[in-house]
């Protein structure tokens, strides 16, 4: 089944890099959506069927952690898998994100890291 993905990052270049990496993973990608901050991300979740959210932490208007908190509080979005992709180095924050059920990928990343994380999150068997 094709996976619909929402990419939330304030950098359009980073969103394009994430999307390109996703397309290299061999995963069956359905529709993709993009948002420039957490607020826009929540609006995209309201308007579309999304299977996985990939979210940056540091963004204007609403950061990634706030967006994740809103998602987890809303029954409609509480169970959607979340992958955080960030340069964030704060152990305390990473621990909090883990407790909220988010996987974490450090920037810079490789397409393989994205593929492996997505497969683990979505319980997809790898072919290697």
Which residues are at the interface with Mg ion (CB under 5 A)? 10, 56, 58-59
CB of 85: closest distance to Mg ion in angstroms? 9
Q: Which is nearer to Mg ion, 3 or 17 (by Cβ)?
A: 17
* Beta strands across the sheet bearing 3-8: 29-35, 3-8, 52-55, 82-86, 103-106
Helices (H) and strands (E) in the chain, counts: 5, 5
Q: Which is nearer to Mg ion, 58 or 74 (by Cβ)?
A: 58
CB of 28: closest distance to Mg ion in angstroms? 28
Q: How far apart are CA 115 and CA 59, in angstroms?
A: 24
Residue pair 6/28 in contact (Cβ under 8 Å)? The answer is no
Q: Which is nearer to Mg ion, 40 or 56 (by Cβ)?
A: 56
CB of 59: closest distance to Mg ion in angstroms? 5
Q: How far apart are CA 32 and CA 107, in angstroms?
A: 20
CB of 58: closest distance to Mg ion in angstroms? 4
Q: Which is nearer to Mg ion, 5 or 10 (by Cβ)?
A: 10
Closest CA to 32 of 13, 52, 14: 52
């Amino acid at each position: 089944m094709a996976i619909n993905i929402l990419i939330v990052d304030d950098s359009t270049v980073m969103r394009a890099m994430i999307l390109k990496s996703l397309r290299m993973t061999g995963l069956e990608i359905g529709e993709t959506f993009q948002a420039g901050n957490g607020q826009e991300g929540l609006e995209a979740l309201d308007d579309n069927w999304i299977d996985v959210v990939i979210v940056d932490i540091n963004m204007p208007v609403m950061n990634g952690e706030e967006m994740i908190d809103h998602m987890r509080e809303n029954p409609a979005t509480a169970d959607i898998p979340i992958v955080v992709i960030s340069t964030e180095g704060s152990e305390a924050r990473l621990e909090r994100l883990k407790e909220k059920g988010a996987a974490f990928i450090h920037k810079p990343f490789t397409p393989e890291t994205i593929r492996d994380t997505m497969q683990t999150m979505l319980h997809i068997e790898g072919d290697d």
